[in-house]
Amino acid sequence: MNKLEHIATIDFCYWRLGKLNKQLSKHKSNIEMLVDKACGYNEVGEVKNEAITLLEQIIESKKAIGADYSGDSKFLVELKSKELYE
């Protein structure tokens, strides 16, 4: 990939992280929560897995273009260490 493609990847990943944040912030009705529980769906776990993948892509692209990725690395380590409760 060239530098522009890495920058586009970083931009998309940050945009997607913002969308995931909004998704988690949205209030669910009681019936939605019951259906999710009955089906075994864990939205927080799904979002966490996608966020980890996005952060890994951001770090990889920042390494490739020589940008500082220390903040992203710290966030990734913290996210991986979090226990999820719903």
Residue 86 has pLDDT above 70, yes or no: no
Domain positions in the chain: 3-81
**Looking at residue 48, what is its pLDDT?**
92
**Looking at residue 67, what is its pLDDT?**
96
The span from the CA of 17 to the CA of 47, in Å, is: 9
Q: Could you report the per-residue pLDDT of 4-50, keeping only the tens digit for each? A: 999 999 999 999 999 999 998 888 899 988 888 899 888 888 999 99
Q: Which two tokens stand for residue 84?
A: 């999820």
Beta strands in the chain (DSSP E): none
**Looking at residue 45, what is its pLDDT?**
87
Q: Could you report the per-residue pLDDT of 52-70, keeping only the tens digit for each? A: 999 999 999 999 999 999 9
CB 79 within 8 A of CB 59: no
